[in-house]
Structure 1
């Protein structure tokens, strides 16, 4: 209640307690006159009252009236007589003294209002406009707990192929088994690549993230995604390493066309447990959604998919399915553990479920240290079935993954970035190694069981390159390749390859960016193209436009 209202209510309340009629004999007119007269000699501090103590219940209220408004006086002997009953005349005298002070303040306010009349009118108009906009937003919002974040990406580009390397019998067997293609031994890889993916194409990817919070600290994420990259030049058979990070196509079974189909890509709930733990559970959650630290600052939405796994695709396989995880974080240190079953929604234990032979599962543990300038993580992943990552490698490495019963993977990744943009770029690097296990009673099993594959990358990014807000980047590394066969007498590893990418992002507006990019794959077929020492290479170019809303 405001002061003026309190002063009006006080005498009314006292009137209810006092007799309706007051006789002259009952009223000490001299005391009232004395009180009213002494009100002109206003006290300035509550300490001037000898009978008011800090322990009194009304001490603070009396102090505010004296020091803020200056409208309380005492008696000539320096007392306030707080315990003495107040008559209505005394209340009127007090009210009159306070009203005089408020009137003075009001006059000052009137002068200020007159002086700044124009400015106050402008502010009043802005406030009215803001109130109208807030009202409109509240009337049209679809949810008070959910925010929509969308990303739409256009990609137009093509590939060029060179070299005279021919398809070997082993190359035909591996490629046809992995991709269902019909490569003929003796034909050239370049000719097959041009025939299957030599055109210029325009593709798109759309992601809609609905982020919901019920407590302000939790997160329910629902992601809808659609794309039409299934038949694009980026990621088709023959050269799977030219797949783009943004190149999405919803899987819907062999031989089925899923282009332009909107589907649930993510659905998980994340919530804190105490001050240091965070739990995640979901029917469609990805491995990296449950990591407290991602050990890279090289942009994951740039160009080639091979550079978006922190250098260790086997470890950071990004397995997607039903799962859950828990991480602990204290200061810059964190420990994460999670489990994902790609077929966790299937009832048949031989084809899916949780913790079965058909789960296609991954289990990951990561120890990380991360600050704004520096980060490092060591991670281990066990995977089996379809949970074993088969992409992002040479065909021979992918063949080894596809025929493994289980894989143990270790990755070491980290980053450093300068505090301020300048000549020094951010640096991200990573290395991964994978150990394969298979039934060695078969010819393929002999090659795969005990085999190892490795990968590495280095990514550089210059912030505010040439123009503030723009970025320049480069990545180099080796996609997963076979470094040791389980049986060298059957297959001796010689599977090396190199991948490069260069890009420049123009930040056209806060919500629109345009990124032209070039990339080069020195030996995308790895060992399969080296039997006759002839080469086969892939050079590509594209322009990517990203809209964020």
Structure 2
């Protein structure tokens, strides 16, 4: 500050310390208006939590040798306008702008005027008043600017309140434009040699989602999602036989409603206690959204991996699309626990299954995060499938992820119980480099049908590498490699009476580049390569090229 500025303080060091303190306090509202990151949020919270002290000795960072110690001590006794942060600090070396100092000066003047009005002893000297008067004159321009800024904020706040969408609800939207094509010689065959040519056609499709987030207490959330799209993707089970012959080539954002709009997700989440979060899904339950899936860079269908398998471990697809409840216990330590019960056919009484007797999944996960950089999870899910969904026989252990045999090892008309075990981890080497991965094992048992009493063992794994800010801030270069679900053993017999399983091994290789055009537009080109599709080395390698553009608003 200028020499003239400091000369004003030679008269009364008490005024100096008072003004610096009150500026710190008055800054709280200013910080709250401009929170943009975690550090500022913490600062704003600390500012709001400041409380008055009765002795300067309560400050852990103020020593008797400090130049302002006597001034602070006098302020506590004479003016009663000193407060501290929740951690018992004063932070006397905190830098101030002229605007902040002016705000503190104004607050200090109000306190002195209050004392004068109450005629409480001889607390303010003529010398102090003279100093305050000169300070007020010196900062008259800044004080006037502050008053103008407050008036402007009040006007803008009133305008927002008058024109807001809702006092309780926020609207969020996402639109995807996708251009995709598949390349290769033949369609994948489940076993033996392929006999059909691969039909390569470039497609242009879309998906639009509108989400309404409503909060009634500030800590709860009601989510309503409207969805429409016409992305058929490269599924292997299409009736016309024009797909790739394998679900391993599916895109992570596919879904065809003929662009008809429907409510495909409705849930309500709230805090039971400070450490317990409860989420109730009425429709569209998805475990990978309810709990940590350990692949945050690629988990999103609109802004993550391009492929279905590359988004996260298939264990998080158990019970997908139904109703249920998820409870997460997070005591703000290194360990957190999650549990869920989901029922896919809970809303359909015609199936005589309901909430408890139909397709369901019981899920549990233990997460351990000893450091901010490393997080690991142990996951278990027990599922029961009746194979009857919407009056259609449909056995699907991994919800269309992996080989067709792995999803339906016992054939149709078979009630199936499966036990799924998974381990997932993520490690943040640096702010720009992260790796994640998962491995899973499933043992499934046939309860009814031609293969009743038999079992199947299924394994899968994958790893992902994310290079953040690659080529520009907000961009991500990603590589994903792994083995989709594969039947490796069990007691299933083929027509010849021999034990059957997936003969060879498929590998999933995906490269993508998420390019951030702006905060609301992301363009993602990528290539998916499936080696030995359907775990059959007689099949030719398949390539899926995709260009996805995601608009968010």
TM-score range, shorter chain: 0.5 to 0.7
Which residue of 428, 441, 464 corresponds with 1:433?
Answer: 441
Stretch of structure 1 that moved more, 363-372 or 334-343: 363-372
Distance 1:166 1:329, change over 3 A: closer
Q: CA deviation at 1:320?
A: 1.6
2:459 is the alignment partner of 1:454: yes
Asked if 1:513 is matched to 2:522, the reply is: yes
Q: CA deviation at 1:457?
A: 0.6
In structure 2, how many angstroms separate the alpha carbons of the residues matched to 1:417 and 1:65? Answer: 50
Given that 1:523 and 1:537 are in contact with CA atoms closer than 8 Å, whether structure 2 keeps it comes out as: yes
Verify the 8 A CA contact 1:482 1:495 in the aligned structure 2. Answer: no
* Match runs of 1:164-203 below 5 Å: 188-189=195-196, 191=197, 193-194=198-199, 198-203=200-205
Q: Displacement of 1:302 after TM fit?
A: 1.8
Structure 1 position 267, deviation (Å): 1.1
Aligned partner (choices 218, 221, 224) of residue 222 of structure 1: 224
Residue 332 (structure 1) aligned with residue 331 (structure 2):
no
Structure 2 regions of 5+ residues with no counterpart? 1-73, 81-115, 388-395
Deviations along 1:481-515, whole A, 9 cap, x unmatched? 22124235435320420111011111222222211
**3-state SS in 1 of match to 2:154:** helix
Seen in structure 2, the aligned counterparts of structure 1 residues 463 and 319 have a Cα distance that, compared at 3 Å, is: same
1:247 to 2:216 alignment: no
Correspondence for 1:144: 167
Query: Unmatched 5+ residue regions in structure 1?
Result: 1-62, 70-92, 172-185, 250-257
Cα deviation code 1:296-354 (max 9, x no counterpart): 344112211112232xx14643512121132322312122221111111111353x311
Matches of 1:206 and 1:277, distance apart in 2: 33
CA 1:167–1:129: 2 relative to 1, 3 Å: same
* 1:545 CA drift (Å): 1.6
Residue 483 of structure 1 pairs with residue 485 of structure 2: no
CA distance in 2, matches of 1:166, 1:120: 75
Contact 1:390/1:402 (8 A) holds in 2? no
2:312 matched to 1:309? yes
Helix, strand or coil: the match of 1:307? Answer: coil
State whether structure 2 residue 134 is matched by structure 1 residue 134: no
Tell me, in whole angstroms, the C-alpha distance in 1 between the residues paired with 2:176 and 2:449.
Answer: 48
CA 1:309–1:208 in structure 2 vs 1: closer, same or farther (change >3 Å)? same
The residue matched to 1:128 in structure 2 has which SS? Answer: helix
Q: Equivalent residue for 2:534?
A: 525
TM-score by length of 2: 0.67
Q: 1:295 to 1:409 in 2, by over 3 A?
A: farther
Aligned to 1:504: 513
Q: How many residues align?
A: 419
1:405 partnered with 2:415? yes
Structure 1 match to 2:36: none
When the two chains are superposed, the root-mean-square deviation of aligned CA atoms in Å is 3.4
Within-5 A mapping of 1:457-472: 457-472=462-477
What pairs up with 1:341-420 in 2 under 5 angstroms? 341-350=343-352, 352-356=353-357, 359-370=358-369, 372-383=372-383, 384-386=385-387, 388-400=397-409, 403=412, 404-418=414-428, 420=430
Q: How big is the shift at 1:454?
A: 1.5
Give per-residue Cα distances to partners, 1:106-140, cap 9 Å, x unaligned. Answer: 87666555544554454444433332221111011
Secondary structure in structure 1 of the residue aligned to 2:255:
coil
Deviations 1:16-71 (A, max 9, x none): xxxxxxxxxxxxxxxxxxxxxxxxxxxxxxxxxxxxxxxxxxxxxxx9999349xx
- 2:542 aligned with 1:538: yes
Question: For residues 68 and 492 of structure 1, what CA distance do their matches in structure 2 show?
Answer: 87
- Supply the distance in 2 between the matched residues of 1:66 and 1:199 (Cα, whole angstroms): 83
Post-superposition shift, 1:432?
1.3
Q: Distance between the aligned counterparts of 1:430 and 1:372, measured in 2?
A: 19
TM-score, normalised to structure 1, is: 0.68
Question: Secondary structure at 1:137's aligned position in 2?
Answer: helix
Matched residues in 1 for 2:205 and 2:377: separation?
Answer: 35
2:272 equivalent to 1:273: yes
Equivalent residues of 2:403, 2:486 under 8 A apart: yes
- 2:146 and 2:535 map into 1 onto residues whose CA distance is 69
Is residue 374–residue 428 contact of structure 2 (8 Å, CA) maintained in 1? no
Residues 489-545 of structure 1: CA deviation (Å, up to 9, x unaligned): 435320420111011111222222211111101122333xx5xxx332211212222
1:336·1:366 contact (CA, 8 Å) conserved in 2? yes
